[in-house]
């Protein structure tokens, strides 16, 4: 999974893969390897670099709030659909924009109907992947011209979720 985030006002590219409870990859130019164990609702045990952390988290739209034992950290997902290297979006530019799943997951909510007018950045579909719910936003203001998923549906990486024109 490649995703661009903002952590403490710095943009970072996360490149992570999951093998069971173990995550491996890069955060910016730093190699990481961590065990992440779910201990309950919004509570994780993270083992990183020989140290263990209890992490409480909650999500607000495209922002994740982490409490690392009194050290709060806000992580903003800048573009959940592609990595930073894929280039900038054309925002409200003309034409149809197709939005595809960034990773395999399960659709847990669809917040719009075909033909509905939406604004850029508005959350349209929620996909659960890797034990996290990811709200997928409209890349532009316009009309939903295709809605290809329903709640409960499993999607593969690259599957068409919706199109906005």
Q: What order do you get walking across the sheet with 123-129 strand by strand?
A: 132-137, 123-129, 105-110, 154-155
Query: In the prediction, which pLDDT does 101 show?
Result: 84
Task: Tell me the two tokens of residue 136.
Answer: 């997928």
Q: Which residues contact 45 (CB under 8 A, 6 or more apart)?
A: 35, 36, 37, 39, 52, 53, 54, 55
Rounded mean pLDDT of 150-156? 94
CA angle 111, 164, 155 (to 5 degrees): 60
- The mean pLDDT value of the chain amounts to 83
pTM: 0.48
Share of the chain above pLDDT 90, in %: 25
Tens of pLDDT, residue by residue over 78-107, are 755 443 333 334 444 568 888 888 778 899
CB under 8 A, 24+ apart: contacts of 67-74: 73/7, 73/8, 74/7, 74/8
Query: Which residue is associated with the tokens 């919004």?
Result: 42
Rounded mean pLDDT of 5-26? 84
Q: Is the pLDDT of residue 46 over 60?
A: yes
Q: Is the pLDDT of residue 139 over 50?
A: yes
Task: Tell me the two tokens of residue 47.
Answer: 């083992």
Domains of the chain: 2-79 (3.30.700.30), 95-164 (2.40.50.100)
| Longest alpha-carbon distance in the chain | 52
Query: In the prediction, which pLDDT does 18 show?
Result: 84
Rounded mean pLDDT of 8-31? 83
- Ramachandran region, residue 80 (left: φ > 0; alpha: ψ -120 to 50; beta: rest): alpha
Q: Is the pLDDT of residue 118 over 90?
A: yes
At residue 86, the 3 state secondary structure works out as helix
Phi/psi of residue 47, nearest 5 degrees: -105, 115
Task: Look at 81 and 153; give whichever has higher pLDDT.
Answer: 153
Query: In the prediction, which pLDDT does 13 show?
Result: 83
DSSP letter for each residue of 6-62: EETTEEEEEEEEEETTEEEEEETTEEEEEEEEEEETTEEEEEETTEEEEEEEEEETT
Task: Look at 96 and 144; give whichever has higher pLDDT.
Answer: 144
Query: In the prediction, which pLDDT does 84 show?
Result: 34
Q: How far apart (Å, rounded) are the C-alpha atoms in residues 42 and 165?
A: 36
């Amino acid at each position: 999974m490649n995703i661009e985030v903002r952590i403490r006002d710095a943009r970072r590219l996360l490149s992570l893969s999951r093998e069971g409870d173990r995550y491996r990859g890069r955060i910016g130019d730093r190699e990481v390897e961590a065990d992440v164990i779910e201990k309950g609702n919004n509570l994780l045990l993270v083992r990183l670099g020989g140290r263990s952390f209890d992490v409480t988290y909650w999500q607000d739209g495209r922002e994740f709030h982490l409490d690392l034992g009194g050290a709060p950290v806000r992580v903003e997902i800048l573009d959940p659909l592609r990595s930073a290297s894929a280039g900038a979006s054309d925002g409200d530019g003309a034409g149809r924009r197709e939005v595809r799943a960034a990773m395999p997951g399960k659709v847990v909510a669809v917040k719009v109907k075909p033909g509905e007018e939406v604004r850029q950045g508005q959350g349209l579909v929620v996909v659960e992947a890797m034990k996290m719910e990811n709200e997928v936003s409209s890349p532009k203001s316009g009309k939903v011209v295709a809605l290809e998923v329903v709640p409960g549906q499993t999607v593969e990486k690259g599957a068409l979720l919706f199109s906005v024109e």
